[in-house]
Amino acid sequence: MLIEMGGWRLLTDPTFDSPGRRYSFGWGTGSRKTVGPAIDASDLGTIDAVLLSHDHHGDNLDPAGRALLPSAGVVVTTVSGAGRLGGAARGLEPWATTRLEADGRPTVEITATPCRHGPPLTHPLVGDVIGFALRWDGQEHGVLWISGDTVLYDGVREVADRLDVDTALLHLGGVRFPLTGPLRYTMTAAEAVELCGLVRPRTAIPIHYEGWKHFKQGRDAIEQEFASAPADVKNSVRWLPIGDPVAV
């Protein structure tokens, strides 16, 4: 997702490889990319910061995305990821905050939010992940929240208690792997409905549900689940066209 606000250009979880390649996620899990980028990395222009939920899975940072990082002003990611990336990477623990500052632009406050990228006790397999809550001077409503790759658990539910969310970018897909059977590693559509009922965003934008073999719930499944949700939750969902700029 490319986010443009107040003169800032922020890019989340960059993946720009061509489709067809297989990626290993460790411990016998992996996936194949089925759809290429809507915009080539070379056509993006200046990127002020990359918000990287985690650096160790190819569906969040592939080789072409990794090659882009040195040209970004700042990379904000997990503490362990910042240690691996070095350079301009800033590592955040959940609920820690950093700021982007520049003359003539609003200061952007970035707060890391908790994630658990799978069932209980899977941290050795999936590693550290964070989401991001963005506030800036002149913001009209609540925060812009990016969930990161996570299942629904108490750490994510805490967002509803601590943040006033206006727009939520929800990483969905209901990720599963043959090796671990029915276990899920990102939110399902049903979990997204429950989360929206707690967080009550004005706008909920599904992302991270297409383009990879390990995503098990696409747009049809997500739409079907939200269709039976309470009216305020159902009406909050907004689908963004891939590759085209949209004002939110």
Q: What is the pLDDT along the chain (248 residues), one digit of tens a residue?
A: 999 999 999 999 999 999 999 999 887 788 999 999 999 999 999 999 999 999 999 999 999 999 999 999 999 999 999 999 998 899 999 999 999 999 999 999 999 999 999 999 888 889 999 999 999 988 878 999 999 999 999 999 999 999 999 999 999 999 999 888 899 999 999 999 999 999 999 999 999 999 999 999 999 999 999 999 999 999 999 999 999 999 99
- Token readout for 148 is 């990161």
Among 80, 110, 76, 75, residue whose Cα is nearest residue 95: 110
Give me the domain span that covers residue 144: 7-15+29-234
d(CA 131, CA 133): 7
Please report whether residue 75 resides in a domain: yes
pTM of the model: 0.96
Tokens 């990359």 correspond to 50
The total number of structural domains that make up the chain: 1
Among 27, 45, 87, 84, residue whose Cα is nearest residue 61: 84
Please report whether residue 126 resides in a domain: yes
Please report whether residue 145 resides in a domain: yes
Contacts of 15 (CB under 8 A, 6+ apart): 33, 37, 58, 59, 60, 61, 62, 64, 65
Please report whether residue 144 resides in a domain: yes
Please report whether residue 241 resides in a domain: no
Please report whether residue 140 resides in a domain: yes
> What is the model's pLDDT at position 26?
82
d(CA 169, CA 155): 17
Please report whether residue 194 resides in a domain: yes
Which CATH number does the domain housing residue 55 bear?
Answer: 3.60.15.10
Please report whether residue 57 resides in a domain: yes
> What is the model's pLDDT at position 223?
97
